[in-house]
Amino acid sequence: MSSDDKKLIALRQKITESLRIQRDSSEAVPYIDASNILGDVCARQNHAIFARRGCGKTLLLHHSSRSVDHSVRTVYLNCEDFKRHSFPNVLIEILDALFRELEGHLTGWFGRKKRSRDLVRHIRDELAKLRVSDDALEESVKNTSSSEQNSSNETSIGASIHSINAKIGETIGSKSKTEIERSYKIRSDKLRELDMWLPRLKEQVREFFQISSAVKAVFLQIDDLYHLRKVDQPFVIDYIHRLCKDVPLYFKIATLRHASSLYVDRDGQPIGAQERHDYQPINIDYTFADFSRTRDQNRRIFHEFGKLVGLDSKQVDELFKGEGFDRLVMAGGGVPRDTLSLFLEVLSTVRANGGDRIGKDDVRVMSRSNFERRIEELKQDSEGGEQDVLMRGIYALRTFCLTKKSNAFVIPEQALQQRDDFRELINRLLDYRIIHNAGAAITHKSQAGTYQAFSIDIGCYAHLRKLDGRFNELNLADRDAKEKLRSAPVFGPGDYESILQAAPQNVEAALLEDIAA
C-alpha cells in the first residue's frame, strides 16, 4: 500500500469520526472561522447561533469552550437529552443538569470551599422536590397532547385541498398560540413555584461567584434547542434568560431558526428572549445566495482535514476532476457535514469502480441516497400533522420542478409576506435541506415584483440518468447564475394548491418510488 493510499484511508477515518462532533473528543477538529464568529461567541453576551443541521453549531460551541478567557467556564447541555420531557419538567431537568455540571467541577473551578458545595447541594435538592411534585398534573398534560395528536392524524386521511391548506395554518402556524395558552394555564402551579424560587436562586448564584476567586463567568451552552416542543421553547428560554440576567451567567443557544420559538407575546406579556434586545443572533449558515463563498468555506474544511493526515491542499483538490467539487457542494446543500458525508460515499464508489477522482456525474448518481436520508430526518423530527404537510410540500415542489424542467425557481416576496402558512412551509423545507436558498430581492424578466430564488436538491432529479432535453440544470457555480435566476419559473401558493389536488394519497411512497426509478 502506497503512502498516498494510507493517507487517504486516514482521511476517510478522520472525516468519519468528525461527522458527529462529540463532547471531549481526544482530537478535536478546529472550527474554520472565516468571519470572526469565534470572537463573538467567546464574548460575555447572550447569543443564539442559527444554522441548518450540519453547519457546525455544535463544533463552534465546543471549540469556543477551548478559546474562552481563563476566568470563564462553559457548561454544555444538549436538548436532545430532554426531548421526551414535557414542560415544566424539561426546565427542571435543564437547571439540574447545569448545577450537576457545576457540582462536578467544584474543586477544579471554584476550589475546596464548603460553602460552594453546600449552595449547589441545596439548589439541587430544591430542584429534586419540584421534579417529583404534581405527577398527576403531568400525566393529564401527556394525555391531552396524545389526544390532540390522534385527532390530527385522523383528519389528515382523505383530506381535500381545502382541508390541507387549513391544516398548514393549524399545524405549522396558528395552532401554536392556542397550545402555548393551554400549556401555560395547565402548568401554572408548577411554574408559579419556579418563579417564586427564582429570586432566591439568583441570590445563591451570586453568592456562588462571590466565593470564587478564579471563575468570574459561566457560559450556559444549550445545543439543539429545536428538539424541545416548539410550544415549550419560549417558556424554557424565558426562565433561563431571567436566571442569567444581572448574574455572571450567559446563555449560548444553538438551534434551527425556523424550528425554534424563542419569544412569544401572551396578552401583551413578553415570554422568552427577544432577538437583538435580550440576545445577539449569530448566523453561521452558508447558502447558495453566494455560491463561491459557500464553496470556498467547504474547500477550507476539506483542506483542514487533509492537513490533519499529511495531505496538502493540492493533493486534496486532486481528488476531484472537472466540476466534481462544485457539484459535491451543490449536492450537500452547502452544508459541511452533508458534503463530507457524501464525499465518503462517492469516493468509495469511484474507487470500487477503478477510478481515483470524483466527477460531477459520480456525485449526481449518489445524491439520491442523500435526499432519502433528509426525508427520513424530516420524518423523525416533525410531529404527525406537520410531517404530512411537509411531505406534501416536497411532492408539490418536486413535481413543479420536474414539470418546468428546472432545478431553480423563484417565489414572489409578496406571497411569502402575505401567506404565513406558505412562508413557514418554505422555511421548514430550507431547514431540512430539501430546497436551498439561492438569492433574495431578485427581479424577474417577465413578471413584476421582487422574488426569492431557490434550488431544489439534486437528489430530487438524480433519477434522470441523462439531463439533456429532459431537465435544465442551472449551475449555481456559473458566473451568470444570478442573471439566469431572473428567468426561472415562478412558484406560488396557487401552483402549490393546484399540484396537491392531483397528488396521490401516499405522497411519500410516490416520492421514493420515483427516486428509485
CATH number at residue 335: 1.10.8
Q: Are residues 241 and 351 in the same domain?
A: no
Q: Domain end: 368, 396, 425, which one? A: 368
The verdict on residue 162 lying in a domain is no
| Termini Cα distance of the chain | 39
Are residues 111 and 251 located together in one domain of the fold? yes
In a shared domain, residues 109 and 48: yes
Q: Is residue 89 part of a domain?
A: yes
Query: Does residue 501 belong to any structural domain of this protein?
Result: no
Are residues 192 and 325 located together in one domain of the fold? no
C-alpha cell at 264: 412569544
pLDDT of residue 158: 41
- Same domain for 334 and 258: no
pLDDT in tens, the chain (517 residues): 567 789 999 999 999 988 877 666 555 678 888 778 999 999 999 999 999 999 999 999 999 999 999 999 999 999 999 988 888 889 999 999 999 988 888 877 776 678 888 989 999 999 998 887 654 344 444 445 444 444 444 433 344 444 445 444 444 445 555 565 555 555 567 788 899 999 999 999 998 888 887 889 999 999 999 999 999 999 999 999 999 999 999 999 999 999 899 999 988 889 999 999 999 999 999 999 999 999 999 999 999 999 999 999 999 999 999 999 999 999 999 999 999 999 999 999 999 999 889 998 899 888 888 888 888 888 887 766 688 899 999 999 999 999 999 999 999 999 999 999 999 999 999 999 999 999 999 999 999 999 999 999 998 888 765 556 678 889 999 999 999 999 999 999 999 999 999 888 888 888 877 655 5
pLDDT for the residue numbered 212: 82
Instruction: Kindly state whether residues 231 and 195 are assigned to the same domain.
Output: yes
Residue 395, in any domain of the structure: no
Kindly report the pTM of this predicted structure: 0.85
Q: Which helix (H) or strand (E) holds 173?
A: none
* Within a domain: 427: no
Q: Report the b/e string of 49-78 with b at 16+ CB within 10 A.
A: bbbbbbbbbbbbbbbbbebbeeebbbbbbb
What contacts 127, CB < 8 A, 6 or more positions away? 92, 95, 96, 99
**Residue 88: is the preceding peptide bond cis (ω within 30°)?**
yes
**Residue 463, domain member (yes or no):** no
Counting the structural domains of the chain, the total is 2
Q: What angle do CA 242, 246, 247 make, to 5 degrees?
A: 95
Strands 450-456 and 435-443: antiparallel
Whole-number pLDDT of residue 379: 84
What pLDDT, on a 0 to 100 scale, did the predictor assign at position 179?
Answer: 60
Residue 324 lies in a domain: yes
Which pLDDT does position 458 carry in this prediction? Answer: 92
- Euclidean distance between CA atoms 91 and 130, whole angstroms: 11
CA distance 197 to 498: 54
Q: What CATH number does the domain containing 253 carry?
A: 3.40.50
Residues 200, 334, single domain; the answer is no
Q: Which domain holds residue 314?
A: 288-368
- Looking at residue 248, its pLDDT comes to 95
CA-based nearest residue to 333, from 429, 222, 198, 203: 429
Q: How confident is the model at residue 146, as a pLDDT?
A: 46
Q: Mark whether 215 and 354 lie in a shared domain.
A: no
Please tell me whether residues 195 and 93 are part of one structural domain: yes
| Residue 209 shares a structural domain with residue 299 | no
In a domain? residue 34 = yes
Looking at the fold, whether 71 and 27 belong to one and the same domain comes out as: yes
Q: Please state, in angstroms and as integers, the Cα–Cα distance from residue 8 to each residue in 22, 42, 178, 326, 481, following that order.
A: 23, 35, 55, 21, 34
Of 283, 314, 335, the residue at which a domain comes to its end is 283
Residue after which a domain boundary falls, among 368, 386, 408 = 368
What is the C-alpha to C-alpha distance for residues 123 and 331, in angstroms, rounded to an integer? 49
User: 121 with 264, same domain?
Assistant: yes
